[in-house]
Structure 1
């Protein structure tokens, strides 16, 4: 070293700092990559992504290579800085060199390159992977030797060096990914994806048409009444029953009834019953994602929901499940959520008691409890534990509410305030 000029030592030191910055930035860039985007780019044939993916197949070796290179460079830089310091300031130069080199390495070889790599991980990783791939082949024996010693020490600590974390996402993590996609995925598509993930948490009981709203035809009615109901029915299928809905006898498609009407000699109760399909029954606790698959597997579009005693509690169609994913269809005969919720000038909302709580939460971004009753009427009655005889005010799930209108044994209309809006005294 004595034969080397001080100027050349400074140049060599600067070169080592640049190399140290390369290793530091490469490490941060590689570890900051979005693994799913990397896999996507690799599958589409991106050369840089394929190189990086090969390096990341053994992250222990990649980190070992980077740390070997970084430490060798930093130790050599420290030695050169010490020589320069002693040449310029004598014995005091050791302390001066240590302080100055620490600051230089911290700023130019650590913080700056790692910050840049964290901001632009793909650009840094794809470029640095070219040299790292070469170094991995050249220094492979040294990397394997160092990893062997490291893994042996890790085993002595009772750990498994080869165990790798699971890169799979659970539904909650996937939901976060979708929500954080921002402008990459249109908001409408985000809502649909989230709705698909929510299907497993929603049962058919949550979205069914309740028993008292099922429109069917009593086969024991007068024949003219039956024909009139068939010709005026707004639905594509109707339930046929005897006297009460629990005695269901079939599910009739109106297009089959229309065909029979054209054959006047064949149009009577007997032919109507023969044309009806067998009823498809569904347990009330069936998750929507399961029922969607069952509809597909059994080639069914509508089913009657039964409770644990076999009594009919509601009806659900394939369209009902699809509406949970894509939103309401304009052809739906049921009242839309916009018709059930009316905004008021004071920030409150007039809401029909029959409005579905889950729909209210999705529309207004509220968090009313959904683990109990399905409707706002049911939620208030559960909270009161009795049927109110007159209008009253109450708090439910931190929301101030006023019962505005009662009808028989149910709450018909409620005024609800958001949690941040307080009723004016």
Structure 2
């Protein structure tokens, strides 16, 4: 080195610092990449993404290559800096060279390139992967040796170095990804994706039409009453039963019943029975994602929900499940949220006691508890632990509530105020 001029040594030192910055930035850029975007780009044929994905298949080898190159460069730079320091300042130059080189490497070979790589990981990674791929082939014997020693030491510590595992997202992690998508996914689409993820946490009990609200026709009624119900029914299918809903006969298709009446010119109860389909029963607490697949597999659109004793407790349709994903339809059997909630001038809301708590929370952005009763009436009764005999005011989950109207043994109408702010 004594024969090399000082100017050449300075130039060589500068080149080494640049190379060190390249390795540092490459490492940060590779590790900061969005792996799922990388996989998507690689699948679409992006050459840079394919190179990076291949390098990241064995991250231990990639890190080994980068650290080998970075350490070799930094050690050589330290040696040259020491020579330059001694030439310029004598024995004191060793300390000066160490201090100056440390600061220069920190600023220009570590912090600056790593910050830029963290801000622009794709640009840095796709570009640097060209040289890294070549170096991986050239230095592969040295990289393999270093990794063999390193992995052996890791195994001695009782840690398994498994490189074959794939990254998988849980539903909660996927929910976070959707929420963090921002303007990349329209808000409406984000809500639909989140609703799909929620299907596994919601059961048929949560969205069913309760037993007392099921529209049905008693086949034992007189014919005029049956015709009147057929004429005024807003639904395409209704439950056909004898005397009580538990004695269900079938699901009557109104269009089919009208067709049979016109074709055969007969209007009898037997005609209705021929137009009724077999009843499709659904066990209570079936998750919505499971029931959606069952509707599809069995080619059904409507079913009656039964409890463990076989008693009918409610009704659910395919449209009810789809509403959980895309929002309300106008053809739903259940009343819409706008029919059950009426905003008041004082900031409160008049809410039907039969309103579903989940629907209230979704519509008003509230957090009423959903791990117990499913209706507002049930929530208040659980809180009171009694059936109120007169109008009274309570506070449930921070919401002041005033019972406005009672009907027999249930609360029909409640005035609910927004949650009280806690200091």
| TM-score interval, smaller chain | over 0.9
Which position in structure 2 is the counterpart of 1:329?
Answer: 329
Which position in structure 1 is the counterpart of 2:185?
Answer: 185
Offset at residue 333 of structure 1 (A): 5.2
User: Helix, strand or coil: the match of 1:366?
Assistant: coil
Superposed, 1:265-304 pairs within 5 Å as 265-304=265-304
Contact 1:219/1:242, CA 8 A, preserved across alignment: yes
Superposed, 1:314-353 pairs within 5 Å as 314-332=314-332, 334-353=334-353
Partners in 2 of 1:348 and 1:125 — Cα distance? 55
Which position in structure 1 is the counterpart of 2:194?
Answer: 194
* RMSD, aligned CA: 1.5
User: Helix, strand or coil: the match of 2:405?
Assistant: strand
User: Helix, strand or coil: the match of 2:151?
Assistant: helix
Which position in structure 1 is the counterpart of 2:305?
Answer: 305
Please give the per-residue CA displacement for 1:177-196, whole angstroms capped at 9, x wherever unaligned: 11111111111111111111
Which position in structure 1 is the counterpart of 2:212?
Answer: 212
Please give the per-residue CA displacement for 1:382-414, whole angstroms capped at 9, x wherever unaligned: 111111122322222232322233333222222
Partners in 1 of 2:421 and 2:351 — Cα distance? 16
Contact 2:319/2:332, CA 8 A, preserved across alignment: no
Offset at residue 89 of structure 1 (A): 1.2
Superposed, 1:358-377 pairs within 5 Å as 358-377=358-377
Which position in structure 2 is the counterpart of 1:390?
Answer: 390
Where structure 1 has 5 or more consecutive residues not aligned to the other structure, the ranges are none
Partners in 2 of 1:214 and 1:193 — Cα distance? 30
CA 1:370–1:6 in structure 2 vs 1: closer, same or farther (change >3 Å)? same
CA 1:263–1:225 in structure 2 vs 1: closer, same or farther (change >3 Å)? farther
Query: What is the aligned residue count?
Result: 422
Which position in structure 2 is the counterpart of 1:381?
Answer: 381
Q: 164-173 or 296-305, which moves further after superposition? A: 164-173
Partners in 2 of 1:67 and 1:335 — Cα distance? 65
CA 1:347–1:17 in structure 2 vs 1: closer, same or farther (change >3 Å)? farther
Please give the per-residue CA displacement for 1:167-210, whole angstroms capped at 9, x wherever unaligned: 01111111111111111111111111111111111111110000
Counterpart check, 1:87 vs 2:78: no
Partners in 2 of 1:137 and 1:249 — Cα distance? 75
CA 1:136–1:163 in structure 2 vs 1: closer, same or farther (change >3 Å)? closer
Which position in structure 1 is the counterpart of 2:97?
Answer: 97
Please give the per-residue CA displacement for 1:217-268, whole angstroms capped at 9, x wherever unaligned: 1000111211221122110101110000000011111110110221354331
Partners in 2 of 1:13 and 1:200 — Cα distance? 61
User: Helix, strand or coil: the match of 2:400?
Assistant: strand
Which position in structure 1 is the counterpart of 2:44?
Answer: 44
Offset at residue 38 of structure 1 (A): 0.6
CA 1:108–1:347 in structure 2 vs 1: closer, same or farther (change >3 Å)? farther
Which position in structure 1 is the counterpart of 2:58?
Answer: 58
Partners in 2 of 1:361 and 1:264 — Cα distance? 50
User: Helix, strand or coil: the match of 1:50?
Assistant: helix
Q: 327-336 or 120-129, which moves further after superposition? A: 327-336
Which position in structure 2 is the counterpart of 1:413?
Answer: 413
Partners in 1 of 2:82 and 2:203 — Cα distance? 72
Where structure 2 has 5 or more consecutive residues not aligned to the other structure, the ranges are none
Q: 34-43 or 154-163, which moves further after superposition? A: 154-163
User: Helix, strand or coil: the match of 2:277?
Assistant: coil
Contact 2:237/2:252, CA 8 A, preserved across alignment: yes
CA 1:360–1:224 in structure 2 vs 1: closer, same or farther (change >3 Å)? same
Counterpart check, 1:78 vs 2:71: no
Q: 384-393 or 161-170, which moves further after superposition? A: 161-170
- TM-score between the two structures when normalised by the length of structure 1: 0.96
Counterpart check, 1:221 vs 2:221: yes
Contact 1:347/1:421, CA 8 A, preserved across alignment: no
Offset at residue 274 of structure 1 (A): 2.1
Offset at residue 420 of structure 1 (A): 4.6
- TM-score between the two structures when normalised by the length of structure 2: 0.96
Offset at residue 166 of structure 1 (A): 4.0
Partners in 1 of 2:10 and 2:420 — Cα distance? 64
Offset at residue 164 of structure 1 (A): 5.3
User: Helix, strand or coil: the match of 1:313?
Assistant: strand
Which position in structure 2 is the counterpart of 1:240?
Answer: 240
Which position in structure 1 is the counterpart of 2:145?
Answer: 145
Q: 271-280 or 346-355, which moves further after superposition? A: 346-355
Which position in structure 2 is the counterpart of 1:23?
Answer: 23
CA 1:347–1:104 in structure 2 vs 1: closer, same or farther (change >3 Å)? farther
Offset at residue 347 of structure 1 (A): 3.7
Which position in structure 2 is the counterpart of 1:4?
Answer: 4
